[in-house]
Amino acid sequence: MKKLSLILLGLVWVLAGTANAASITYYLDQTNDPEGWLPDGTNYAQVTIADNGSDIDFTITLLSPLTSIADANFGIDNFLFNSTNVLSAANIIGEPGDWTTNVDYNPAPPNMSADGFGSFEVRLKAGTRQNPTLSFTISIAGDSIADYAVLSSGSVEGNTFFGLHVAGFLD
């Protein structure tokens, strides 16, 4: 039985907002699928960053092109991003209880990288895979949603705003 996992990355985004609150939605549409079953250009996941007035909420949702091929233990097991702020794990709250958060401001592969799509400063890593949604909040004074749309560095395949690892697919 062959197991498939992939890194999803994307740059497609939609901006929506009001005078007091705002959100940005990104669709992750690139994969590193070596078999070519999941071609680039399909929206596989959605990342929504919302300003709730005092904190910034992240919601990462897997979409039907992935959930339709889910097998046992399917779900998100890593999410990576950068920020213009200096964050620590203590700034990231509400992630699943068995997840860990690593912050490294000198990121180097492989610890903080997303398989050819560059290095990131913040990595949330699974204990239990999340299907179909991963949510967490960043609490740091004075930040905005734009502080979290920061490209990865040191890429071979192209720099991206986010890295997402999903595993547990059907053969």
Contact in structure between 57 and 35 (CB atoms under 8 Å): no
Contact in structure between 117 and 160 (CB atoms under 8 Å): yes
**Domain count along the chain:** 1
pLDDT tens-digit map of 144-159: 999 999 988 876 667 7
The domain in which residue 54 lies consists of: 5-169
In this prediction the pTM is 0.84
pLDDT tens-digit map of 68-102: 999 999 999 999 999 999 999 999 999 999 999 98
For tokens 């992939």, name the residue: 6
Rounded to whole angstroms, the Cα distance separating 1 from 75 reads 18
Rounded to whole angstroms, the Cα distance separating 167 from 74 reads 6
Q: Is the peptide bond before 110 cis (omega within 30 degrees of 0)?
A: yes
- Considering only residues 17 and 164, tell me which one the structure prediction assigns the higher pLDDT: 164
